Amino acid sequence: MRRLRPLLLSAALLLGAVPATGAAANAAPAPAGTGGDPRPLDQVIPAPASVRAHGDPFTLTDDTRIRVGGHAAAARGARDAAQELAEILRPFTGYDLPVTTGGDAHRGSGAIVLAHGGPHSLGEEGYRLRVGEHRIVLQARAAAGFFHGVQTLRQLLPAQVESDAARTGTQTWRIAGGTLTDTPRFEHRGAMLDVSRHFFTVEEVKRYIDQLALYKFNRLHLHLSDDQGWRIAIDSWPRLATHGGSTEVGGGPGGYYTKAEYREILRYADDHQLMVVPEIDMPGHTNAALASYAELNCDGVAPPLYTGIEVGFSSLCVPLERTYDFVDDVVREIAAMTPGPYLHIGGDEAHSTSHEDYAAFMDRAQTVIGKYGKTVVGWHQLTGAEPAEDAVVQYWGVTGEEEDVAEAARNGNRLVLSPADRVYLDMKYNEDTPLGLSWAGYVEVRQSYDWDPGRYFQGVPESAILGVEAPLWSETLENSDHIEYMAFPRLPGVAELGWSPAATHDWEDYRVRLAAQAPRWEALGIDYYRSPQVPWDSGTR
């Protein structure tokens, strides 16, 4: 089972803070200066597709300017990326770093130039970075490419650029010379945040978006409904949010997003080149909805709100026509708000629904999603019914051997891989981890990183793999500190699996690059688990 629950959670997990095993207690001190050799161009996460070192480094000075050159001057994405780079660099460097437009990308000196162009193979998300002694040129063909290139530049500078501390002394800011060309391996590089078991505020979701964007994720899957809470306002069924959203695991106050707040999350994600994929789980995981409206229950009696962590006991009433009025209204309102092409239907752990009813429900529900112009995404149990022709199947198993899933892939349904014993970020690192669950086993950093999505599922070619996604379920997580402790340091590895060519995946090299991220996380205030598998102190820079 995807989220098999123990019967009880200790009060220490639900109410206590993460003990002093994270960054605050054991982190190596940030380096005092920024002199010395610049970071090599290939020492970033995710690993770039191609790097060629050559020439002298570029030195950032108080005369440096950021220029949007040539045809890129008309591209909003390039201007936005230039402004973001300036805003990242100004506070700690103390430099003005004016942003200008126009001019030839290959003339002048002392500039960081964002220029539209590069080979067609860069696509929407790729970029090319040329660093020389006199200028840096970042080329891309679309807004996402400029954004991702800026994140790479950010990692090539010392971690102090992330700090709010006042600039002191004389410092040298250099970026190694060479050419870096980078494109993603997979289209879908996602992270899922469960806001249903515990509710997370708009600001907490935005903070997670910031962290995802740093590592070139491009999908944020929001799990918006479950037995413990309904988290999105639906005008035609208002009690879903006001009643169904009024609690959470352990009996806390819960919460929900108004439509304005949901749109705010969508805008923020879009600004960070992430597409939001909303999930309304059904026909199971629906107690919050059933408790909100008696008419959705076969017996006409609303159950009480639920604050535990067991699964599989709830189901929409499949024979009831009113159920499909509910599905139509919810899908219509969410589809109207969500610009992306996907709507996640859930579909897992429907243990209280017969196979016949499950198949009948999924057939009708998928039709509704198509009616409102969205592509169905479903957990891999959907393949036990009849997936829509273009449906995306999200796999959370642990074997990579399920024949129904392989057959769906052979029939044209693309797979998103989220194997629970690899990339479920809520799995404990070891038996002493104070948060998380362990039904899929303990998942240390190496296990999370050291596998190949393109060769994972037996009988399924890499061409059928849409990408990878790291779910983070929140039975034991209550705030951003909890999210970060479970996500870091595993999250960057998932990003690398999704972005970087398979030939670059090497644990021994990766663990050193991962260690070098620690000072950046500390400067950003990110708590993290100091895995003994990672040479943290040797990685500080």
What is the set of active-site residues? 349
Using a 10 angstrom Cβ sphere, with 0-12 exposed, 13-18 middle and 19 or more buried, the burial of residue 338 is: buried
3-state DSSP assignment of residue 342: strand
Give the dihedral of Cα atoms 149, 150, 156, 161; nearest 10 deg: -170
Q: Classify 11 in phi/psi space as left (phi over 0), alpha (psi -120 to 50) or beta.
A: alpha
Side chain identity at residue 71, one-letter code: H
Q: 103: part of which helix (H) or strand (E)?
A: none
Strand partners, 193: 222, 472
C-alpha 449/C-alpha 215 separation (Å) is 14
How far apart (Å, rounded) are the C-alpha atoms in residues 373 and 231? 23
Sign (positive/negative) of CA torsion 218, 221, 222, 228?
negative
385 φ, ψ to 5°? -105, -130
CA distances for 21 relative to 195, 482, 492, angstroms: 25, 12, 20
CA distances from 203 to 27, 126, 274, 498 (A): 26, 29, 16, 26
Q: How wide is the angle at C-alpha 20 spanned by C-alphas 14 and 23, nearest 5°?
A: 110
DSSP state of 65: E
Picking from 279, 476, 491, 487, the residue whose alpha carbon sits closest to that of residue 376 is 279
- What are 51's strand-pairing partners? 180
φ/ψ (deg, to 5) at 11? -60, -30
* Joined tokens for residue 458: 């037996």
The CA R_g of the chain, rounded to the nearest whole Å, is: 24
Q: Of 284, 318, 314, 319, whose CA–CA distance to 302 is shortest? A: 314
The rounded distance, in Å, linking the Cα atoms of 62 and 95 is 5
Neighbours of 524 (CB within 10 A): 16
